[in-house]
Amino acid sequence: MAVDGTRGGLRLASPATANVLGIAGMALFLASGPLEVLSHYATLSDAGWSGVVVLYASYVVGWVVARRQPRNPVGWILLGFAVLLAAGGCAGSYSVLIYRFGHGALPLGPVAVLLNLLWAPALVLLPVAILLFPDGTLPSPRWRWVLWAYLLIGAAWPVSIYAVAVSTMGHHIQVDASGNLTILDQPHGSAAWLTPVQEVILPVLVVFWLLFIGGQVATFRRSSYERRQQLKWLLSGAVVCLLGVIVSTVLGTLATHPSALTQAALGIGGVALGAFPLGIGVGILKYRLYDIDRIISRTLAYAIVTGLLVGVYAGLVLLVTHVLTVKTPVAVAAATLAAAALFSPLRSRVQQMVDRRFNRARYDADRIVVAFAARLQDAVDLDAVQAALLAVAHQALEPEHASVWINQHGLPI
């Protein structure tokens, strides 16, 4: 919602405000690198890299949406989320310099510790973008009470964290390698009440997040074509994000030490988290330019084919090496050749099955064209062929107008 000033008519929700926040976010991103190097925190963990991906994706998408649609709160939510996390990251590195490396002469140490906790309100803010997608309005007036309940309960979480943090400001401050107060990881003493509070609030917040997604799914079922296309982008990004996090977690659990498996988990988690804000951005701005049904069907088909081929490959390797006791290089070569031979027919079969469920328009069009080609083999009348061709074009593509031109040799062009 645009907020007008009293005299100058300044609108707070404007492209100029988006530029100011965007420049502030860019300055924070540029400052985070040197601060991380100085604080010896330049080597990021899996969670760190994933956070960087979702941070930059949210920043770019939020800035673009806020500039182009300043009255849409979704862009401001994404931009605010990115700026809050960037400010918290810089403050965390700064607090590490002071409280872990002994640079006590630096000013504003307690302020940096408190600013580092901005990740808590940022995490509460981001899911609101799901509920308000795509135009900033609620799915129905009944959701207004759900939103207010979520904001009240969600605010209780960062407030409780900040209450514990403020209570420790007069004592010896201890932070971990990322700048967070150590007492927040293992609350004890007068801060022990934080643990049961978080055990109650966090599951409730998760329930609200699931409700937001469920509300959009219900809206999808009763919405028109344009809104359906936009919601497909949102839900696709959310599903990719969820599946990527699950796969990344499983791979990270299987990796007992830093290895290629750990790097794979890191990459999958980062890309998956970035898919959520990117899906929101495309759904708001460019959903008409891309065939989301085709993207979904291709993604699902290749994911299924990849999983099946990996299973066949692993099964053949185990069969040949443990049952037939063939040498490992021979087994690997045989399994690779078998997987390569199965790829093309398996992909065609799986693609047809996926298109039948998720890309019905293309599946029906292919069937219409195949049937027309079969009828065309026995056709001898040019007028009948022309009429059949127009009928097939209207049935498969549904154009507003279609014509057939005949060249000098009597063939359609």
Per residue in 190-204, pLDDT tens?
A: 778 888 988 999 999
Shared domain for 138 and 42, answered yes or no, is yes
> Residue 364: pLDDT band by 50, 70, 90 thresholds?
low
Rg of the chain on CA atoms, in Å? 28
Q: Of 257, 289, 321, which closes a domain?
A: 289
- Has residue 191 been placed in a domain? yes
Shared domain for 313 and 231, answered yes or no, is no
Shared domain for 325 and 401, answered yes or no, is no
116-154: pLDDT as tens digits:
999 899 989 989 999 998 888 888 888 999 999 999 999
- Has residue 5 been placed in a domain? no
Shared domain for 183 and 329, answered yes or no, is no
pLDDT for the residue 301? 72
Peptide bond into 134 cis (omega under 30): yes
> Residue 81: pLDDT band by 50, 70, 90 thresholds?
very high
Please write down the long-range contacts of 225-229, taking CB distance under 8 Å and 24 or more positions apart. 226/287, 226/288, 227/134, 229/283, 229/287, 229/288, 229/292
> Residue 359: pLDDT band by 50, 70, 90 thresholds?
low
Shared domain for 271 and 176, answered yes or no, is yes
- Has residue 9 been placed in a domain? no
Q: What is the mean pLDDT of residues 285-308?
A: 67
Instruction: Say yes or no to pLDDT of 396 above 80.
Output: no
Report the candidate in 28, 165, 25 with the shortest Cα–Cα distance to residue 90: 28
Shared domain for 214 and 321, answered yes or no, is no
Q: Give yes or no for a contact between 209 and 242, defined as CB atoms under 8 angstroms apart.
A: no
> Residue 56: pLDDT band by 50, 70, 90 thresholds?
confident
Q: Mean pLDDT across the chain, nearest whole number?
A: 76
Q: What is the mean pLDDT of residues 67-84?
A: 91
- Has residue 296 been placed in a domain? no
- Has residue 336 been placed in a domain? yes
Shared domain for 281 and 401, answered yes or no, is no
Shared domain for 74 and 99, answered yes or no, is yes
pLDDT for the residue 325? 67
Q: Give yes or no for a contact between 125 and 209, defined as CB atoms under 8 angstroms apart.
A: no
- Has residue 320 been placed in a domain? yes
29-50: pLDDT as tens digits:
888 878 777 766 544 444 455 5
Q: Give yes or no for a contact between 79 and 59, defined as CB atoms under 8 angstroms apart.
A: yes
Instruction: Say yes or no to pLDDT of 255 above 60.
Output: no
Q: What is the mean pLDDT of residues 255-265?
A: 52
**What span, in angstroms and rounded, lies between the C-alpha atoms of 229 and 123?**
27
**What span, in angstroms and rounded, lies between the C-alpha atoms of 113 and 95?**
6
Residue 314, both tokens: 């692993």
Residue 200, both tokens: 């109650």
Shared domain for 353 and 392, answered yes or no, is no
- Threshold 0.85, pTM exceeds: no
Q: What CATH number should be reported for the domain holding residue 197?
A: 1.20.1070
Torsion, Cα 219 223 225 231, to 10 degrees, reads -10
- Structural domain boundaries enclosing 328: 304-358
Contacts of 26 (CB under 8 A, 6+ apart): none
Residue 24 burial (10 A CB sphere; 0-12, 13-18, 19+):
middle
Instruction: Say yes or no to pLDDT of 304 above 50.
Output: yes
- Has residue 122 been placed in a domain? yes
Instruction: Say yes or no to pLDDT of 8 above 50.
Output: no
Report the candidate in 33, 57, 196 with the shortest Cα–Cα distance to residue 126: 57
Shared domain for 344 and 375, answered yes or no, is no
- Has residue 119 been placed in a domain? yes
CA distances in angstroms from 252 to 191, 307, 339, 343, listed in the order given: 32, 18, 26, 28
Shared domain for 42 and 65, answered yes or no, is yes
Local structure of residue 189 (DSSP, 8 states): G
Shared domain for 184 and 324, answered yes or no, is no
pLDDT for the residue 44? 45
Read off the amino acid at residue 19: N
Q: Which residues of 340-360 are buried (b: 16+ CB within 10 A; e: fewer)?
A: eeeeeebbeebbeebbeebbe
**Structural domain total, the chain:** 3
